[in-house]
Amino acid sequence: MATVLHLTGPVLVGPEEVRPEAWVLDGRITYAAPRGGRDVQTIHGWVLPGLVDAHCHVGLGPHGEVPREEAERQALADRDHGTLLLRDAGQPGDTRWIDERPDLPKIVRAGRHIARTRRYLRNFAWEIEPDELVAHVRQEARAGDGWVKLVGDWIDRETGDLSPCWPAEVLAEAVAAAHEEGARTTAHCFGEQSLQDFAAAGTDCIEHATGLTEETINTFAAQRIAIVPTLVNIAQFPQIAAPAAEKFPRYEQHMLDLHARRYATIGAAYEAGVPIYVGTDAGGSLPHGLVAQETAELVRAGLPNSVVLDAATWGARAWLGRPGLDEGADADLVVLPADPREELAVLAAPCAVVLRGVFVRG
């Protein structure tokens, strides 16, 4: 007979709901004490739902798809840091095998990136022209888990700066097609114009969103368009832009300007009521397991601890349609040494990590 885990709590079921204790029985959360006859293991500490990385790339490296062994290491790095739900925001390989591994985090996939020809990182995306966009959006909507990821802007070598990848009328058709397929859309957007175009098209989310202005912030808030800022990635903008300094000085300066105002931009978006979620952009150039660092960056941008914690746990799970510490839900949780609502830094050092009711760390 399997051991029962007794979580002595406090158990943070939601932003306003705290339970004194909980149990893990047959891999699931329950708030009813089990009857006798089972071995019980007690775990002390503050209990949270497993953390969420709402923008990462399991199976992606600097040059494209990585071998399964490396994808496994990426997923394990997230798991061991307490990140148990991932939104994979585009990668070229097939990671469905992860769903068959009970020791690896759960993933919500966005299929493969869709980019304009020669307007994105090599080997990452489908590289297509506008007349192919709608068909590819439908294809990736069916391949993913309810999301489609487009590349909204990138450096245009003809203009020497960031510029949108898609004509506005085609983009509107593509977003409508995704919605018809039952999927939500998100997009990589650094610059200002692409954010206007995607908002007009009715997108559901934007990644990075460094080019938000007062006008687009108000539009995003009114339309409830979510953003995932990935500030730990935006910190790299000076390094990303430096190689282009001589040939594309406008692009370099634009990237440096976006970087310089990143905290003010995200802080203003929060103040206006734009929904914000925690994501790291792990994979590609960044390592996995950076959710705690991203939460610290959002605090630097002016978001309160409580808001950031919600963006990494309860709120993010609800947004992705996944349960938290609900009665009968899979026991995907972290146990912390102190109250994360007061000390957000404790997210970086969980005492225990439980995935599907099984200790994976602790």
142-192 tens-digit pLDDT: 999 999 999 999 999 999 999 999 999 999 999 999 999 999 999 999 999
Mean pLDDT of the chain: 97
Delimit the CATH 3.20.20.140 region(s) of the chain.
51-319
Please state, in angstroms and rounded to a whole number, the distance separating the CA atoms of residues 105 and 152: 28
Beta-carbon contacts of residue 197 (< 8 Å; ≥ 6 apart): 152, 164, 166, 168, 171
Q: Which CATH architecture has domain 51-319?
A: Alpha-Beta Barrel (3.20)
Identify the sign of the CA torsion 68, 71, 72, 73. positive
Beta-carbon contacts of residue 253 (< 8 Å; ≥ 6 apart): none
β partners of residue 62: none
CA 179 vs CA 20, 176, 188, 284, 355: distances in Å = 42, 5, 18, 28, 32
Name the residue type at position 195.
L
Delimit the CATH 2.30.40.10 region(s) of the chain.
4-48+324-361
Kindly report the CATH number that applies to the domain delimited by 4-48+324-361. Answer: 2.30.40.10
pLDDT at 361: 83
Report DSSP letters for 62-76, one per residue. Answer: TTEE--HHHHHHHHH
Average pLDDT over residues 75-90: 98
Between 56 and 36, name the one with better pLDDT: 56
pLDDT at 36: 77
Average pLDDT over residues 86-101: 96
9-29 tens-digit pLDDT: 999 999 999 999 999 999 999
